[in-house]
Structure 1
Amino acid sequence: MSIIGLGEDGLKGLSCASRSALEAAEIVMGPARHIGLLEGLACETLTWPVPFADGIAQLMGLRGRRVAVLVSGDPFWYGAGATLARHFAPGEWQSFPVPSTFARVANHLGWSLENTRCIGLHAAPLARLRPDLAPGVRVIVLLREGGGVRDLATYLDAQGYAETTLTIFEALGGPRQRITQTPAQELPDLDYQHPVCVACDIAGPGRAMSCARGQADDWFESDGQITKRPIRAMTLSALAPVPFEHLWDIGGGSGSIGIEWLLCHPSLRASTVEPRPERAARIAENAARLGVDHLRVVTGIAPDALAGLDRPDVVFIGGGLCDDLLHWIEENLASGTRLVANAVTLESEAVLSGAHGRLGGDLMRVAVSRSHPLGAARGWKASYPIVQWSVTL
């Protein structure tokens, strides 16, 4: 199987190797738009069905024949390449990329691609942009359809970034190419056509999320059950996320720990367990609004609610701490799993003290005080102290 990247310029943009693979194919399979870009194909053509997954079985049924699959641009950058490769052995396929849409846009605008955020939002919400919204940031966004351009401008306006300069590319590189540059707040009322990509030079007085862990508390909707910013920053430091790790956040509250964990790196995964349905719903809303809608939220009580979850690399217990839960974790999770637990009541402190005596690790007590009016002067008002235990099983 040959995976052939294709731009809107069709055959003109193909390398000699891509052309040779195409000429050698018995069957060319791809979206109708891509097949239409290649004039005079002598071989059999198959239109890739919708939904996309339905085409995989059809393609696998063609094993043993010379098949060329048409995809957009660079197959392995927000393309279909990785999905196709998962279903075939390494020797069964080869890939022939052309410059990606991101590369074409950067070359058109003179943007340094390594300093530009590139995001595919074909099947993802616009809120995925939220962590990247700050003045001076440059983002290139792939959209599913032309109507997404208006949605993007509206979203930026709602976030306080209506001054963002949008450069809208339709059918970039092909005969239908159209390029429109405009502030988001002055978007022309045009009928934007697929395939469409938008380069965003972010500007405006909107609020930006910090790159440090420990976001301000008011980023999270809550009923008061939230790990406050200083303790959250300390907790994320203790959790010490490493790329591709999976976190269990037990007793999610507002979801702030799981959300900030996911904000650390795009490869991270997290599952949050929260017994109260209204809080679980709020966690999902917070995650979606802050751009990490892939947070898995489970309504239930640990450890029963942990059944069926992918095994974690790290566990945080922020609520529901008890001896039974700790014993279940010790007995069921793999050696090397990291565990961090916070306690605020005397009873939960006693649980952590006993666990520390049994398993070791690091036990510390932290008290945070803030300035507060005291008559005509000011004094310190202390929050409840937090006891934190961290250990590697």
Structure 2
Amino acid sequence: MIDVVGVPAEGLEALPPAHQQRIAAARTLVGSPRLLDLAPVVDGQLRRSWPSPMLPSMESFLGEIGVDGVVVLATGDPLVSGVGSTLIRVLGADRVRVHPAVSSVALARARMGWPSESTEVVSLVSRSVYAVRRHLAPGARVVALSASGDTPVGLARALVELGLGDTAMSVLGDLGAVEESRFDCAAAELADGRAPGPDGIPALNVVALEVPATAILWGSSPGLPEEAFAHDGQISKREVRALVIAALRPMAGQRLWDLGAGSGSVSVEWCLAAPRTTAVAVERDAVRSARVGKNAETFGVPISVTTGDSIDVVDQLPSPDAVFIGGGATADLIGAAWEALRPGGRLVVHCVTLDTEALVVAAQGRLGGDLRRVSIERAEALGRHLSWTPARPIVQWSATKPHAATRQQGTS
């Protein structure tokens, strides 16, 4: 059993006596150099700093130091974007005992007077500052956990880029400590170089921001305008994307394969549709593949990009919960995607040619599911008047892979 002790900003002396005794009695004490320096030296006690990079080395590091008699020092609540969450994921909840202190999120909300039910929380500790984007709405209040003293400025510049320079920002430094600080400004001011003082922004900081109620935003619902993405014209139209996401049915923590990703717009909207979702986008064109990565960065969503032909790489990808084939569908690719899907997973294929339509009709005959033919028309100028201009009709096949028990019942 590993004990993870959350350390408040006041230091170890603010911990309950039982926690202090647990730290002193540890065979091995683990933490960041800053936290280890706070603990009194104990004869015979081994002290270890986390390896760098931490996550790839975590399992081998834990195998080296063991588990019994190990105490980990963490900041605040170890389960709020902290090492406690990582240790539970690696070791299991039955081998990790967490002793939390007041989290920086709770302290930030207390300083701002913001109730939890009206406040969004986002961690920027190991993510792009654009990860805040999905939480932005008119009047939204967001608490952002910073990676360093540079994070608030990067966040301010991202807000300005999104047209939100009037957003009120409060940079809360060293929360709970004697040297606690607060710096209030508009995002545009911080982005332009306004500093909180001669010492700059503390390394330990949390940013509280409030979006103006008059802000105009695209939101995060499926069917974002095409101009929201970087693209070269190879992009699913907004109405079609809304149909794709509706058929894929994203759920929290699930992974999508976006095969023939184009601009990656479907991957982006999949990740925006439910929390903790991820996507693997496969695109054979290197320029478009790089563009997928750019769209992922500017929307702050976790998309892994693979360059190559889909059929050549699918056996190397992590298992999907859903698959979308937006271009280049073949019988082999449909078969490989169906085989890779977990039971209960969804496969959606779009096509515009008669050849590919014949493939999905045959697949529907074998595997079931739904076939739809969708035509979208947009009003466009025709001289001095408006006229309906149709796009190419889209044939959509969507199917859910049954569980083994369901298959057996269907054949009995």
2 CA distance for matches of 1:64 and 1:245?
A: 31
Structure 1 residue runs of 4 or more that deviate by more than 6 Å after TM superposition: none
1 CA distance for matches of 2:305 and 2:53?
A: 27
Identity %: 34
TM-score, normalising length: structure 2: 0.87
1:224 corresponds to which of 221, 233, 257: 233
Contact between 2:30 and 2:50, CA under 8 Å: does it hold in 1? no
Write the deviation string for residues 40-75 of structure 1: whole angstroms up to 9, x where unpaired.
454536251452526765554443653322100111
2:201 corresponds to which of 181, 192, 197: 192
Residue 369 (structure 1) aligns with: 377
Note the C-alpha offset of 1:278.
1.2
Structure 1 segments unaligned to the other structure (5+ residues)? none
Residue 48 (structure 1) aligns with: 49
1 CA distance for matches of 2:254 and 2:59?
A: 29
* 1:35 equivalent in alignment to 2:36: yes
2 CA distance for matches of 1:55 and 1:325?
A: 36
Contact between 2:78 and 2:85, CA under 8 Å: does it hold in 1? yes
Write the deviation string for residues 293-319 of structure 1: whole angstroms up to 9, x where unpaired.
x21111111211212101212111110
1 CA distance for matches of 2:91 and 2:384?
A: 74
Write the deviation string for residues 150-209 of structure 1: whole angstroms up to 9, x where unpaired.
222222222222212111111111122112222223344231122111111123876523
Pairing 1:46-125 to 2, within 5 Å after superposition? 46-51=47-52, 53=54, 57=60, 60-63=63-66, 66-88=69-91, 90=93, 92-125=95-128
Distance 1:11 1:336, change over 3 A: closer
Q: Letter of the 2:187 partner, please give it.
A: A
Contact between 1:136 and 1:201, CA under 8 Å: does it hold in 2? yes
* 1:340 equivalent in alignment to 2:348: yes
* 1:319 equivalent in alignment to 2:320: no
- The number of aligned residues is 391
1 CA distance for matches of 2:354 and 2:92?
A: 57
Quote the RMSD (CA, aligned, Å). Answer: 2.4
2 CA distance for matches of 1:64 and 1:335?
A: 36
Q: Letter of the 2:374 partner, please give it.
A: V
2:275 corresponds to which of 252, 259, 266: 266
Structure 2 segments unaligned to the other structure (5+ residues)? 402-412
1:384 corresponds to which of 389, 392, 397: 392
Distance 1:119 1:328, change over 3 A: closer
* 1:253 equivalent in alignment to 2:262: yes
Write the deviation string for residues 235-266 of structure 1: whole angstroms up to 9, x where unpaired.
11011112222211111111111110011122
Give secondary structure in 2 for the equivalent of 1:180.
strand
Residue 405 (structure 2) aligns with: none
1:209 corresponds to which of 190, 195, 218: 218
Give secondary structure in 1 for the equivalent of 2:123.
strand
Larger deviation: 123-132 or 94-103?
A: 123-132
1:134 corresponds to which of 137, 140, 153: 137
Q: Letter of the 1:350 partner, please give it.
A: A
Residue 282 (structure 1) aligns with: 291
Contact between 1:214 and 1:233, CA under 8 Å: does it hold in 2? yes
Q: Letter of the 2:266 partner, please give it.
A: I
2 CA distance for matches of 1:58 and 1:382?
A: 60
TM-score, normalising length: structure 1: 0.91
Distance 1:61 1:360, change over 3 A: closer
Give secondary structure in 2 for the equivalent of 1:46.
strand
Note the C-alpha offset of 1:12.
4.8
Distance 1:88 1:146, change over 3 A: same
Residue 296 (structure 1) aligns with: 304
2 CA distance for matches of 1:257 and 1:55?
A: 33
2 CA distance for matches of 1:230 and 1:139?
A: 30
